[in-house]
Amino acid sequence: MQKYDDTKNKNGMKIIFMVAQMMVLLVVYIFVYTSFKAVQYSIEKFDTSPVMYFPVLVAMVIFPVLLYKYRQMFNTGKMLIASVWMMATASLTIVLLYVYIVQVTG
């Protein structure tokens, strides 16, 4: 009789989670790039301060750090919580960048 071993499933889920993180990072960085371009437009058109880049830079730096923390959480066995937090943080980052850009260019 062979004993069931779940390590292959766990390793597969780690790979799937890592690919999902890369896709989420790509989507968020598309919004970050768009935000950089919108701030650049705002600086040229409305003569605003280059300090307006700061929130976009913060989002660009903080988000990968959070993804790393969520991968650590996933590896400790909290798979569902890590997935939910990853998607929630990505959604919040995108919405906050959008709201910021609307205020900067509006």
Angle at 77 between CA 74 and CA 79, to 5 degrees: 50
pLDDT band, residue 103 (cuts 50/70/90): very high
Pick the closest to residue 90 from 69, 64, 51 (CA basis). 64
Please calculate the CA angle 79-67-8 and round it to the nearest 5 degrees.
40
Mean pLDDT, rounded, of the chain: 95
Residues 45-69: tens digit of each pLDDT? 999 999 999 999 999 999 999 999 9
Q: Is the pLDDT of residue 76 over 80?
A: yes
* Per-residue confidence (pLDDT) for residue 15, from 0 to 100: 96
